[in-house]
Every structure is written in C-alpha cells, then in structure tokens.
Structure 1
Amino acid sequence: MSHFIYNGKMNGKLSSGKFKYYSESGKLDWLCDAISGSSNLKALPEGLYVASGFRVMKEKPFVLYGIGFGFDLIPQFKTDRTELMFHPDGNLPGTAGCIGGLFKDKQEVEASFIFLSKLFKKCSYVPVTVTYHK
C-alpha cells in the first residue's frame, strides 16, 4: 500500500526530519526535509493519519517561493488537536503543529506541487505514519 512517513527528531517542541512517500511497490518516490512545531506549539502527535484534500493555498504560512499548497492530516486516534496539515513552511520558521516542508529553492517546491497534485488526483486519501526518535 502506498503511504507517507514522517520520521523526526525532537528538540523541545520542534521536530525536524524527512517526510517521505512510498509507492505501492515500496519504492521511495518523493521526499523532503520537514519540520513540525515551533518554539510555542508542539509538533504533530505520533500516530496514524489519513492524508486527503490536496489544495492550492494562498496564505503566507503555506506559501514558499510564491507557491502554496497543502493537504489535511486526519488523526486516526483520539486527540484534541485540529486543523493539522502538510504544507510548505512559509512565513516564519516552524508550524502550528503541522508538518512543514523545507524546500531549498523554487524548483523543489514546484516539483513537489506537481508530484503531490498528481498523486491526490489518483488517490483520494493516503495513509500517513508519524514517528519520532531521539
């Protein structure tokens, strides 16, 4: 089954790591450096999620190099956290508990936008696993 994995290293409330997509065959098809949380807000909780609802975004926190997009991360466990997403980490460094993609240049953001938009046209949802290591 195709799926995303975010594996991060915690540093206080902030985590940094890789967000990866594996195809049905188990091949790594896409990855980006990513962060979750900020100095004020906790990182995304560990657990299983469903990714869905890919869309273009225009708000500054979701836009990097003039390109904004995101998709929802729906927890498959009980939590009081809401409005969780993956999106480019625009605006100030860190996220409000989402996973923020860190892209080195406009070409990386464009390539990710194209890959992810095609993926979500084929799949209405994709499983996501979030884990942390020391």
Structure 2
Amino acid sequence: MKVAYILATNLASTTKLASMILPQLEQNKHGADVVGIFFFDDNLFCLRTGDPIGERLAAVAKAQNILLMVCDQCAVRRNLAEGTFDQCGSGQVKPQGLVEGVAAGCFPQLYSALAGSPPDYVITL
C-alpha cells in the first residue's frame, strides 16, 4: 500500500511526523510505502538546512524515494523559496535554505510528481 501525507495542521511536522512517522520510516516499520509528503504553513520550518528533523527526513526520503514538497506560496511567505506569488502554481518557484531534495510547488506539481507512483491513500495531518 502506498500513502502520501499532507502536513496541514499546526505542529504536524514536529509531533506526528517527527515523533511517530519518521522513526518508523527509519526503522523500516511504518507499514506502508510513503511516496510523498507535502508541507503547508509553518510545517515547512522543519525542512530548513541543519534542522535535525529535516536532515533525518532528507536521508530517509533519499533512501526510500519519498517526494518531499513544500507549498510554494507558503515557502515564498517564509523566505524559504526564490520566486514571487505570481509564479506560485507554475513550477517556477525554487526552494532555498531547505534540506537536499525538497521541491516547491502547488497541487499541479504535486500531482505530476506523484503520477509515476500514485498513492493509494492521501492522509492529511
């Protein structure tokens, strides 16, 4: 079974992701293949370069081929991407200051990125 997570609620990255999902992924005991994690709002901050959660997640994502994507508009608002609000949703916004392998985009880019390995379930946390 393949799943994708959308981190949309306050503290989803520091509670549910960091203390539950990430340790399970690191130990190969999650029970599902995670194909992508999409970050909204302040959940992006855990992906900053040097953040322990983000660095651990980047390593797991690289090893397990998990898409890490931040909302481009959320990233522009937080100075974690190069681009303008007019470019949001176009695929032109580029992440900056984030761990290796993170993409920036909106739903069109998310759908395209997951098309090769679509999830069976999308879980919003």
- With the length of structure 2 as denominator, give the TM-score of the two structures: 0.27
Looking at secondary structure, tell me which structure has more strand per residue: 1
- With the length of structure 1 as denominator, give the TM-score of the two structures: 0.26
